[in-house]
Amino acid sequence: MVKYTLRRLLQAIPTFFGITLLTYMLMLAAPGDPVSLLTFGPSTTQAQRDALAAKLGVNDPAVIQYLRWLTGDDWMRRDTDGDGLSDQCIILACDADGDGVNEQPGDRRGIIRGDFGRSFTKPRNVVDMILERVPATFELGFISLAVGVLVGVPIGILAAVRRGSWFDSVTRIGAVVFSSIPIFWLGLILILLFGRVLFPDVSPNPFMMGGQCPPVLVGGCPPIQGRLVYLVLPVFVLASQGVAVFSRYMRASMLDVMQQDYMRTAYSKGLSGRTTWFKHGARNALIPIATFLGPSITGVLGGAVLTETIFSWPGLGRLGFESVVQQDFPVVMAFVIIGSLATILGYLLSDILYALIDPRIRFN
């Protein structure tokens, strides 16, 4: 298993760089540019636009922009003020105080050294912007994923055991309905239903419509047990599709497992139905679930864009949506890196889950 994991990680290196190159070229080919958005106004002169473009580095050739984003610009010269002269320092040539740190404001170390640069629209470091949103995304994402697994898997097992019953029919119809409903539509309907129809005159509303906590609080949000009302609706929206998918996959897998000889042997030995279903059958039926459970776990890092936007949840998904609209390239590309790493690690995690669920599976 260790050799297999190391081999997969080595194979992921060219895949990662290929993803970065492709997505960066697609971003550069997108219509519009950040300079036009930042300098939108009749009073802005062309000289000011050119100076801003030089400062952001968006007027350089595409290859130079990609290399600077990937490896940093502390090793190259660059025109940062638009005067036609390359005034960017080389390595430590601008170390004025001898502390080993380059004081040139435009210097950055590149993503392969953990530096995603600064946002175009906000005077902040991209890493700091992402780190402050990670707790909110983890909170919403992992709770929704846990609800989807803990509710969807037992429903799938019971639907398979009671095949053809009213429970099987209801869960099958419910899974199709919730798989088909768009997330943005479901979120808006819940806000309308609980905000305007069921509790129009109740203050405070037992189901809060947006945000992570009351905005008037000083010192940050309270612990999670003090703001559960803010989690109910967004968790329901995210978990509904998870429950639908996990239940249908688990039902189909469980039906196949129940036809195996070892299940009939367990019944013939006098084991109870509950022991046979959950101890002997469910473990083997979980193998197909591991196929998309790994990417689902790491996919939490990307945030739920639509859900966080609809419910004003201060997570990574909402930040990513705002960055795409504003063409904030450094933030957008940081999300690309997060998404690509999450996908690569997610499929690796699925393979590891195979071996944990079924001891017969070994990777040699």
* Cβ pair 151, 244 in contact under 8 A: no
DSSP states of 222-252: PPGGG-GGGTHHHHHHHHHHHHHHHHHHHHH
Domain ranges of the chain: 39-113, 126-357
Alpha helices in 212-328 (DSSP H): 232-257, 261-268, 273-275, 282-285, 287-299, 305-310, 316-326
Task: Spell out the per-residue pLDDT of the chain, length 364, in tens.
Answer: 677 778 878 888 888 888 888 888 887 777 766 677 666 666 777 777 777 777 777 777 778 878 877 887 666 555 555 555 555 444 333 443 444 444 444 456 778 877 887 887 787 888 888 888 888 888 888 898 899 889 998 999 889 888 888 999 999 999 989 888 888 888 888 888 887 666 655 555 556 667 777 766 556 677 777 778 888 888 998 888 889 988 998 888 888 888 888 788 877 887 777 778 777 777 778 877 877 777 777 767 666 788 888 888 888 888 888 888 877 878 888 888 888 888 888 888 877 777 777 666 665 5
* Cβ pair 129, 319 in contact under 8 A: yes
Amino acid at 176: V
Q: What SS3 class is residue 125?
A: strand
Q: Which CATH class for the 126-357 domain?
A: mainly alpha
pTM of the predicted structure, to 2 decimals: 0.74
Cα(first)–Cα(last) distance of the chain, in Å? Answer: 7
